[in-house]
Amino acid sequence: MGEVNEMIDIGGAKLKNPFMSASGCFGYGREFAQIMDLQTLGAIVVKGVSLDPWLGNKGVRVAETPSGMLNAIGLENPGLDYFLENHLPFLLQKDLSVVVNIVGKTLEEYVEVARRLNDTSVSALEINISCPNVAEGGIAFGTSPEKAYEIISSIRKVTELPLWVKLSPNVTDIVEIAKAVEAAGADALTLINTLTGMVIDIETGKPLLGNLTGGLSGPAIKPIAVRMVYQVASEVNIPIVGVGGITSLNDALEFFMAGASAVQIGSALFRDPLLLERLPKELERYLIEKNTTLEQIIGLARRSV
């Protein structure tokens, strides 16, 4: 017991271990390759990739908050062509599972990016359905079960790659959304994305962020994320990747016990960039000490009620 270096299957994607980067906090790998061995990751989830380049939001983009941070980057990225020509070849040279996070402003954009990635050697596609749908007045794709079903079922038709769907917590009932995307053909779920928040500059009386609001991440959201993983894990039959405020092995263990089969680390990497390199070894020591396995831990909190 105690081994965590066996391949883990998340909806058809093979991971070396259950720890990976969260999209947006690890760039495209090059940034962290200078200080750590990328091949120690269970997988790398790259920064969001859109069909065309996105410039992101104007003005202040980041604000520190108690036990977290707000970001209003606006999913800035160089676009699919640049990613395929420059970032993906670098990553595929490594012994590394690559998960591509997809963003878009219309259903057609999502579908086209997925279609073009279908013939690559990436391990999975993570569909970020928290993006505002410009065709629907800016309402996020993931706030309606019907819209969530529509976009995932459309993507499912053009790719055989495993589909992970990253769910927004800014909804009335996340279980309802989770069931909808499972029915649409999702192979796994990632939850949660950031919570919408705001900071006001008391000197000017104006919102600090150029986009007015931003996504709250960090330790402050961990209890919400754990609760949502617990709720969703009881209602779906596909694996869950937990994310939200993880800064230590103890945090990750909460997600596993709530029902997550793997976890992603995001904001914590800005403070502790080598955390992802340490966690597999820490988990292995924990499992040996407790004389148990990861499989026995996953969902423990649900079984003990």
- pLDDT tens-digit profile of 69-96? 999 999 999 999 999 999 999 999 998 9
Question: Which among 25, 67, 22, 64 has a CA at the least distance from the CA of 220?
Answer: 67
Q: How confident is the model at residue 140 (pLDDT cuts 50, 70, 90)?
A: confident
Which tens digits make up the pLDDT trace of 213-243?
A: 999 999 999 999 999 999 999 999 999 999 9
131 as an active site residue: the answer is: yes
Tell me the pLDDT tens digit for each residue of 260-290.
999 999 999 999 999 999 999 999 999 999 9
- Residue 3 resides in a domain: no
Residue 299 has pLDDT above 80, yes or no: yes
**Residue 223 CB contacts under 8 Å (≥ 6 apart), including other chains:** none
Listed residue (243, 248, 250) closest to 266, CA to CA: 243
Give me the pLDDT at residue 287, please.
97
Residue 156 pLDDT exceeds 80 = yes
How many CB atoms lie under 10 A from the CB of residue 201? 12
Q: What is the mean pLDDT of the chain?
A: 94
Residues 6+ apart with CB under 8 A from 148: 129, 141, 142, 165, 177, 180, 181, 184
Tell me, what CATH number does 25's domain have? 3.20.20.70
Query: Has residue 2 been placed in a domain?
Result: no
Tell me the residue range of the domain where 296 lies.
Answer: 8-303
31 belongs to a structural domain: yes
Provide the pLDDT confidence category of residue 134 given band limits of 50, 70 and 90.
low
Catalytic residue among 131, 180, 189, 238: 131
Residue 147 lies in a domain: yes
Q: How many domains does the chain have?
A: 1
Q: pLDDT by residue (tens digit) across 157-200?
A: 999 999 999 999 999 999 999 999 999 999 999 999 999 999 99
Q: Is 290 a member of any domain?
A: yes
Domain for residue 289, yes or no? Answer: yes
Within-domain flag for 189? yes
Q: Which tokens sit at 139?
A: 């309402």
Q: Could you tell me the pLDDT band of residue 131, with boundaries at 50, 70 and 90? A: confident
Sign of CA dihedral 43, 265, 190, 70: negative
* pLDDT of amino acid 1: 47
Query: Is residue 141 a part of any domain in this protein?
Result: yes
Q: Kindly tell me if the per-residue pLDDT of 4 is higher than 90.
A: no
